[in-house]
Structure 1
């Protein structure tokens, strides 16, 4: 039984990704338009709140993705099949889903511009580079204890946070998020960071000693503070902080 537990968690990741994708694609661009009234910042008042269930499911998928490897190592039941299954599940939850989110955001904003509406499909560039990232990860022995390039779950958390921020915009960020050039820029910047030769630390604790995990402890503490102060708006800053701390101090600690 224990040898099936990690794969069960991976399948939970996949299930959450599939359901989240179905939610995202079930709404058209017009569903996210507020007609005849000023947008409120109260939770649930924005049409973008329609995507909150998808965001919660991706959060569950990220937790399952974190624990499937942890459980496999703890039970010593790792296998090539489990590794491949993990990548296939990640491709849906952390590859196709963020591309679909960017597609929906671009599909919403492009009709009000002079840009071709077909540019919305560029959101799926993230999905392509996520596939490249996952393929590289499976064949790169340098990434056993750290990462080279932004991990797909981190990229997805950033992109998935955008509709969550829009659902209750406390800080007036909608005007920036719903800008086609910002969305297109984010698409290509994050796509590049997925496959960049950029060393990033992993949140894997072999022990809980300060000298071995100081960077992880500092990052987690700052992330908690940002989440308390800014809620969903903190997520892009946390991903930026993750990259910045890795670049400024790329040591293993």
Structure 2
């Protein structure tokens, strides 16, 4: 039995298990651990592909399994976290009526994440870059919100915290995320070309530097800002190319 061919798939399953546990913990209000596990799922998501390339054991099974795991970790889990935020938001209308269904709209993110992953598997244009927002980036934006809104850990986040805790902002995330996931917006991938040459990877190095500075300055509140900057830098870079 060749054990090495099972290593990438095992890492993928750890991604899936981390994301599943994160969703359960979020429903129990344990957001900090849920966010940590979603971050861990993102780490596993990176290393399963890395391991497959390193060991030269790529397979169609691994490709499909990776997408299934991503649907859970970066589609369903952020949907659950956003569901909890909207459901428990002080701004939610009281007295019943159709408003009780508002939190369930967050499940659209899971649906559009699945659609994005299905398109990605069939789209040969997305081998070195992306069209539309990758599910891990979208998930990180959403799962950072409970750490920002009303968190004593980042009292210096100011307006970012106020925005993140607003009901209408949380509801607006749903259509915006769904659109970005399946859009044709070109976005760069953090895959280095020509080794680690600065000239060939200048945009990526600039983005990494900005991200580190934002995390130092804003802590958790820097995560959604980083995702927004990622989109903006991608658009500017693409415009310069054309």
Both structures adopt the same fold (TM-score exceeding 0.5): yes
Give the TM-score taking structure 2 as reference length: 0.90
Contact 2:71 2:114 in 1 (8 A): yes
Unaligned runs of 5+ in 1: 28-49
| CA–CA separation in structure 2 for the residues paired with 1:125 and 1:78 | 31
**Partner residue of 1:122 out of 105, 110, 116:** 105
Contact 2:19 2:72 in 1 (8 A): yes
Counterpart secondary structure, 1:116: helix
Aligned to 1:137: 120
**Partner residue of 2:27 out of 25, 28, 33:** 25
Q: Which moved more, 1:110-119 or 1:14-23?
A: 110-119
Counterpart secondary structure, 2:88: helix
Cα RMSD of the aligned pairs, angstroms, is 1.6
| CA–CA separation in structure 1 for the residues paired with 2:92 and 2:182 | 33
> How has the CA–CA distance of structure 1 residues 2 and 124 changed in structure 2, closer, same or farther, with 3 Å as cutoff?
same
Aligned to 2:17: 15
> How has the CA–CA distance of structure 1 residues 22 and 73 changed in structure 2, closer, same or farther, with 3 Å as cutoff?
same
Map 1:55-134 to 2 at 5 A.
Answer: 55-109=35-89, 112-113=92-93, 116-134=99-117
1:246 equivalenced with 2:229 (yes/no):
no
| CA–CA separation in structure 2 for the residues paired with 1:134 and 1:222 | 28
Shift of 1:8: 1.2
Contact 1:148 1:200 in 2 (8 A): yes
Q: Which moved more, 1:108-117 or 1:70-79?
A: 108-117
1:229 equivalenced with 2:217 (yes/no):
yes
Contact 1:9 1:67 in 2 (8 A): yes
Deviations 1:76-108 (A, max 9, x none): 111000000000000000000011111111101
Q: Which has the higher contact order (CA 8 A, sep 6+)?
A: 1
Aligned length: 230
Aligned to 1:30: none
> How has the CA–CA distance of structure 1 residues 194 and 112 changed in structure 2, closer, same or farther, with 3 Å as cutoff?
closer
Unaligned runs of 5+ in 2: none
| CA–CA separation in structure 2 for the residues paired with 1:4 and 1:235 | 33
Contact 2:145 2:165 in 1 (8 A): no
